[in-house]
Amino acid sequence: MNCGCGVGHLIKVKAVLFDLHGTLAYVDNPVTDAEISEYLFSMGYEVSRQQLKAAWEFVAFIDYPKYGYRHWRSFFSRILWRLRVKVDGETLDTIARLLEGKPYQLYPDAAEAVIEAKQNGFKMAIVTTIAYFQFKEAIKPIKKHFDFIMTGYEAGCDKTNPRMYKRVLEILKVKPEEAVMIGDDVPIDILLPKRLGINALLLDRDKKTVKCEYADAIVSNLNQAVETVIKQFSKK
C-alpha cells in the first residue's frame, strides 16, 4: 500500500530511526491500571484506576525524562510518591514483580529487518519515551546493531517534543532529510518527523490504513519497511 505521497524521488538517506512500542516490540497482555488499583485496594491502599493512570503518565512523560529510573521498583515508587501514598515494602515488591512478569518482546520480524538495515550501511537508532529498563532485555538480540538508543531520559523530554528527534540526528550526525523514521503512531512517528524534514514510513501491522497523506509510504511489516527504504530512498 502507498499513501500517494511520492517516495520515488531520490533522497540521500544515511540513517533509519525505529519507534519501539508497536514497531520493534510489544507487551503481551500487559498489566492494567485496573489490576494494580484492585490489588492496592485489597491491601488497604485507596488508589483509584484514574488516579493511577494520571500519576503513571506524569512519571513516564515528565519525571523519567528528568531523573531516569533503572527498574520497576523505583519507577513505581515515584508513581506512589506522586499520589502521596505510602505502601509497605512487600506490597511494592509484589507490584514490581507483577510488572516484571509482563516484559517487552520483539516482534518476529524485528531482528531480520534490523540486521538487513545495518548490512545496508545505515546508521540506526531507537527513538522512544519509554524507560530503557522496560525493554532492555527484549532488544538484547539486536542492540549491537544500533548506534544509539534514545529514550526520554537521554533526550530530557518526551517523544512529542521535537528536541528528541533533533538530538538523535545530532548524535548520528545526519541532516533531517538524510533520515527515515519508521513507526506506527501517525502524530508522533509521522507528523512530527515530517515537520522537521525527516522522511517517515507508517507501519500498519493490522493493514487498517489505506491512505495517509503525510507518510512517505505505508508498510505492513518491518521487512517491507526496510526494503522500502533501500529501494525508494537512494543512498548514492
Domain ranges across the chain = 15-27+105-232, 33-100
Beta bridge partners of 182: 18, 201
148-150 and 123-127 beta bridge pairing: parallel
The C-alpha torsion from 142 through 135 and 184 to 201, rounded to 10°, is -30
What pLDDT score was predicted for residue 234? 58
What pLDDT score was predicted for residue 213? 83
Architecture of domain 15-27+105-232: 3-Layer(aba) Sandwich (3.40)
The H or E element containing residue 165 is helix 162-172
Mean pLDDT of the chain: 93
Summarize the confidence of residues 203-223 as an average pLDDT: 88
pLDDT band for 236, please (50, 70, 90 cuts): very low
pLDDT band for 210, please (50, 70, 90 cuts): low
Q: Is the pLDDT of residue 19 over 80?
A: yes
DSSP state of 176: G
Give the Cα separation of 50 and 138 in Å (integer).
29
Which residues does 42 contact at the CB level (< 8 Å), separation at least 6?
Answer: none
Summarize the confidence of residues 13-25 as an average pLDDT: 97
Query: Which pLDDT tens digit goes with each residue over 57-105?
Result: 999 999 999 999 999 999 999 999 999 999 999 999 999 999 999 999 9
Summarize the confidence of residues 137-142 as an average pLDDT: 98
pTM, full prediction: 0.92
Radius of gyration of the chain (CA): 19
What pLDDT score was predicted for residue 11? 60
49-58 vs 72-83: helix axis angle to the nearest 10? 120
Tell me how crowded residue 223 is: count the other CB atoms within 10 A of its CB: 14
What pLDDT score was predicted for residue 135? 98
C-alpha cell at 200: 517517515
Query: Which pLDDT tens digit goes with each residue over 144-155?
Result: 999 999 999 999
Give the Cα separation of 36 and 52 in Å (integer).
8
What is each CA distance from 15 to 64, 113, 116, 125, in whole angstroms? 27, 14, 13, 8
Centroid of chain to Cα 48: 27
